[in-house]
Amino acid sequence: MKQLGNLIERIIERTNINLREQDFDAGPYIRQTIPLNRLVKFYAFCGITPQHPLHFHFSRSNLAGSYFLGKCKVDHSILYKSDVRGDELKAKGDLFHFKDSEILIHDDEVIRVKDSYLIKTLVHCYIHDPETLEEFLIQNTVSMHYANIHGSPVEGCFLGPFSTVDLTTIHDCIVGAFAYLQVGELSHQRVEPGKIWVKAGDMFDFSYSFPKKVLDNYIAIEPYKRPRGIFIDFVRDRKIDFQKVFDMVHLKVPVVVPRGASVNRYALVKGESKISENVLVAQRAYLDNAWMGKGANAQENCYIINSRLEGNNVMAHGAKIIHVRLGKQVFVGFNSFLHGTPDFPLTIGSRGIIMPHTIIDLNEPLTIPAGHIVWGFIRNAKDLAKHSISIKDLSGVKRKFTLGAMKFHGNGSKFVQAFKHRIEHILEANGAFFDGRKNKGHAQKEQNIDFNIMHPYSKGPLKGLYPSIDIRP
């Protein structure tokens, strides 16, 4: 295990060099967070399908319990129960549209993780940075529990637990716990925990910050300690349910999966759950008494419990809903936590947008009207009034709008249209509009996926490391 320890120190050193201006030390956050004996306990696994590019390369890396799909290269890194999903990688010869330009893709896009430590992190592809179209690079970076790196090249950064970097290129930044960024490009900044920031040049700028007292109750992290809070407890309490999913070689899905729908081999489905046509359930998704209407999806690390999705619903990575009813085409953003109870259920009207990293934890029944955008921390109708606005009203904003702690600058109509366009793209990419012949997406392409397990050295000085592996089609 000596070589494994040396690899950890190498990653800490490289990350700290990048963050030296901010006098930040990543060591206390990872040296004891995941004990070495846990890093040698789990096998890595990869998905192989003729619908996606295949080229896995691992060199002197530890990949404990991690999942790979698509064209991925990992060098001198540790990935612990992470998901690297390359099902939307650009191919050689594609044209990338950027403003008024069309940029030719010269080589197949590849996800490359180098000198980094990703703990239970979701990496999803298709970068939008025109400077790095062929390589999705994550380098000299430490990412903590249940963070999302979504189409975002990351270099020399520390990402706190449950944070999300979405369609954003960041250099030498510290991103606090539960912070969400979609801002284009960011360098040498410290983003406070719980800051939600969506910015597109001069078109619009949306920002909100959770009160520290509220956030600390849900997720917090300190040096030399594991993350704590309601989010961690929620996931940990359901961890044992996943045990059989990863322990068994062959596991039959306990529900009927209709033609055009897909439930990943490493998803958990239990209770009286229903899978409708064109539904996509990704690996590590958790369904318990979940009604999935036509075209709905549950992406990685989503939890849908005692809830009903009427159809064409988008559950972004890490979203959690309990005792919730979603009308048609409701978007629930990254790592949102929507918690109703049998006595205090939550109903969300059709075509609503729940902003990423929203917390709704009810102490009374609540109905959110159709066509509303919601953000922040909500417990009841009084809170909702300060943390929501109709899509129609926001579309009418031309310059500036403030509601409570939320600040918006720019063109509200362009902000709304950007979200609607993205929701439509996600539904299309996931195969929600498949008609039996045309409009195939992930739900159809991943029906025949095969999985392969990869083993590390079990003894000797290389214990816990994987042999240098190069798998090509």
Task: Give the residue extent of every domain in the chain.
Answer: 2-236+449-471, 243-399+416-445
pLDDT value, residue 464 = 85
Contact (CB, 8 A) for 299 and 164? no
pLDDT value, residue 467 = 83
H or E element that contains 57: strand 55-59
d(CA 221, CA 156): 20
- Mention every residue, 6+ apart, whose C-beta is less than 8 A from residue 233: none
pLDDT value, residue 236 = 96
Stated length of the chain: 473
- The reported pTM is 0.96
Contact (CB, 8 A) for 465 and 456? yes
Helices (H) and strands (E) in the chain, counts: 10, 47
Output the CA–CA distances (angstroms, integers) from residue 81 to 62, 201, 222, 238, in the order listed. Answer: 11, 35, 21, 15
d(CA 376, CA 401): 16
Q: Which two tokens stand for residue 301?
A: 């690390």
pLDDT value, residue 54 = 87
pLDDT value, residue 253 = 84
Q: Is 382 helix (H, G, I), strand (E, B) or coil?
A: helix
Contact (CB, 8 A) for 47 and 451? yes
Strand 469-471 vs strand 55-59: parallel, antiparallel, or unpaired? antiparallel
pLDDT value, residue 37 = 86
pLDDT value, residue 463 = 87
Q: Decide if 2-236+449-471 and 243-399+416-445 have a common fold.
A: yes
Residue type, 240: I
pLDDT value, residue 98 = 86
pLDDT value, residue 74 = 96
pLDDT value, residue 390 = 98
Q: How many CB atoms are closer than 10 A to CB 377? A: 21
Residue type, 26: A
pLDDT value, residue 38 = 87
Residues of the chain falling short of pLDDT 70:
249
Burial class from Cβ neighbours inside 10 Å (0-12, 13-18, 19+) for residue 99 reads exposed
d(CA 323, CA 307): 5
pLDDT value, residue 252 = 80
d(CA 185, CA 204): 15
The CATH number of the domain covering residues in 243-399+416-445? 2.160.10.10
pLDDT value, residue 189 = 97
pLDDT value, residue 129 = 86
Task: Specify whether domain 2-236+449-471 bears CATH 3.30.430.20.
Answer: no
What is the C-alpha R_g of the chain?
A: 21
